[in-house]
Amino acid sequence: MVNWNLIRSNGGTVSSTGIRKNIVSFITRHHPCSVVESIERKYNAYKICLINGLCLVFDAEGRYVKTH
């Protein structure tokens, strides 16, 4: 289960409310028990890297785009 309270970033910490609910739902559904290593937020996208080496890219609305 994915559960974030605070996400550490280079600029400090970010509240989990900044992460779209559908991103959390996607990760929970398609990558259960995965551990999030990092989250990058750019102007129009989110890049979420999992500890297993996969990186998931979502658009600004939280829709899945691709896997690296």
pLDDT(28) > 70: yes
Residue showing tokens 């896997």: 67
pTM: 0.71
Mean pLDDT, rounded, of the chain: 78
pLDDT(22) > 70: yes
pLDDT(15) > 60: no
Contact 58, 46 (CB under 8 A): yes
pLDDT(12) > 60: no
Q: State the pLDDT confidence band at 43, using cuts at 50, 70 and 90.
A: confident
Q: Note the helical H segments in the chain.
A: 21-30
Closest CA to 50 of 32, 63, 64, 65: 32
